[in-house]
């Protein structure tokens, strides 16, 4: 029996009932659908063993690993961005004699891009552009705070019925494995410079998003091989092989995945370039996802100045990061219905183009 089966039915921190394993977790992370018994709220719980965070280039002891985990969660717990799925709670738990660190986030009922791809779905350039803009917004916000995501890939990008996207996976602090320890899955979306320094960077996040978009369009990940070492070796010095068949979106994707990190577009620049292409692409068709949930109202909402929930087993006070440059808003009219059969009306495309381009340009000017 898979040892992970012992998770199901376990209650974490006296309140989170683990219900079902969710595929797509990183190599050292178990992801489970759960329910907060205080109000029967559906959540997701990510579990990572303390031992997996100890070793060369990582923590030296269990105490150091736990402290690093808590410090990382404190740094991201105050992050408020409508596209990001932020941590709600975290702590330490023992299951079947093994010590795990856990992170709790809201449960999104949208479909992950990984699920769509695994079912043979391919997205159009217009569909991928909308998703790419949303993820760029989230990454730019993180990078402005000095935080890297470190795990941008299809399994962490969720699409609602309206094809707006949300980005998960910022809760668990990822160990920085050596190239020999990096899994094939990690290598699929890794920038070539990670072959020598595996510390996640903002430039590596952008590279991973570009690869994710290529896979959305083609179903293939460029240079992916049977091992991370071979994959990264094949990417060294190589430009992203994007086909002209995908249209003008190929140009910003190629710049976002330049082999030299210094030549790569930032998340801001990548998002600007995508927004400027809106009028050059046909109206995107609806994505026939596995859910009826729409994300538009969530990711275009105005954020209230409310501190994040207090974690279960961490310092009592969570410090919210200071205000940063205004976020980029790619919005449709508020009068638009929450549910609609077509992904975009002509008016929505115009709104995406005008508000998206102007917002990216204004943000560029203020952050220059």
Would you say residue 309 lies in a domain? no
Same domain, 156 and 272: yes
Same domain, 76 and 149: no
Same domain, 180 and 262: yes
Would you say residue 42 lies in a domain? yes
Same domain, 103 and 115: no
| Per-residue pLDDT reduced to its tens digit, 71-86 | 888 888 889 899 999 8
Same domain, 339 and 222: yes
Would you say residue 317 lies in a domain? no
- CB-based contact 126:246 (threshold 8 Å): no
Same domain, 57 and 158: no
Same domain, 120 and 164: yes
Q: What percent of the chain has pLDDT over 70?
A: 73
Q: pTM of the entire structure?
A: 0.77
Same domain, 203 and 227: yes
**Which structural domain range is residue 46 located in?**
3-107
Same domain, 142 and 61: no
Residues 6+ positions from 206 with CB-CB distance below 8 Å: 139, 256, 257, 264, 265, 266, 267, 270
Same domain, 84 and 160: no
For strands 87-95 and 111-112, give the pairing: unpaired
Would you say residue 336 lies in a domain? yes
Same domain, 96 and 117: no
Would you say residue 308 lies in a domain? no
Task: Summarize the chain as % helix, strand, coil (round to 5).
Answer: 40, 15, 45
Number of structural domains the chain divides into = 2
Residues 6+ positions from 109 with CB-CB distance below 8 Å: 291, 293
Residue 164 pLDDT > 80: yes
CATH code of residue 47: 3.30.200.20
Would you say residue 311 lies in a domain? no
Q: Which of 58, 88, 107 is the last residue of a domain?
A: 107
Q: What percent of the chain has pLDDT over 90?
A: 47
Token couple for 324: 């940063």
Token couple for 15: 């309140």
Would you say residue 306 lies in a domain? no
- Range from 103-112, 217-226, 309-318, 334-343 carrying the lowest mean pLDDT: 334-343
Same domain, 103 and 119: no
| pLDDT band, residue 323 (cuts 50/70/90) | very low
């Amino acid at each position: 029996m898979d040892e992970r089966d012992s998770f199901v039915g376990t209650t974490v921190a006296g309140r989170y009932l683990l219900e079902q394993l969710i595929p797509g977790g990183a190599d050292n992370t178990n992801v489970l659908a759960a329910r907060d018994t205080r109000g029967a709220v559906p959540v997701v719980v990510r579990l990572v063993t303390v031992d997996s965070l100890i070793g060369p280039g990582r923590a030296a002891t269990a105490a150091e690993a736990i402290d690093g985990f808590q410090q990382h969660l404190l740094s991201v717990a105050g992050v408020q961005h409508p596209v990001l799925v932020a941590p709600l709670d975290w702590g330490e738990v023992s299951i079947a004699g093994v010590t795990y660190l856990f992170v709790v986030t809201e449960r999104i009922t949208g479909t992950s891009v990984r699920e769509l791809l695994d079912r043979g779905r391919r997205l159009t350039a217009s569909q991928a552009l909308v998703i790419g803009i949303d993820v760029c917004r989230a990454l730019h916000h993180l990078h402005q705070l000095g935080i890297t995501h470190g795990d941008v890939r299809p399994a962490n990008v969720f699409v609602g019925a309206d094809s707006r996207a949300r980005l998960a996976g910022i809760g668990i602090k990822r160990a920085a494995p050596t190239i020999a320890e990096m899994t094939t899955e990690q290598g699929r979306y890794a920038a070539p410079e990670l072959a020598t320094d595996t510390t996640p960077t903002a430039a590596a996040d952008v590279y991973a998003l570009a690869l994710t978009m290529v896979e959305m369009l083609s179903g293939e990940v460029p240079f992916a091989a049977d091992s991370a070492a071979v994959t990264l070796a094949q990417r060294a010095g190589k430009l992203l092989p994007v086909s002209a068949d995908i249209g003008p979106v190929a140009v910003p994707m190629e710049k976002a995945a330049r082999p030299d990190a210094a030549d790569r577009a930032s998340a801001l620049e990548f998002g600007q370039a995508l927004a400027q292409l809106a009028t050059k692409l046909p109206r995107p068709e609806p994505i026939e996802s596995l859910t009826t949930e729409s994300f538009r109202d969530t990711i275009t909402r105005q954020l209230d100045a409310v501190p994040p929930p207090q974690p279960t087993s961490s310092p009592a006070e969570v410090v919210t990061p200071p205000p940063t440059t205004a976020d980029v808003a790619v919005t449709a009219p508020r009068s638009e219905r929450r549910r609609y059969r077509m992904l975009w009306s002509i008016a929505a495309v115009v709104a995406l183009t005008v508000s998206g381009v102007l917002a990216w340009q204004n943000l560029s000017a203020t952050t220059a």
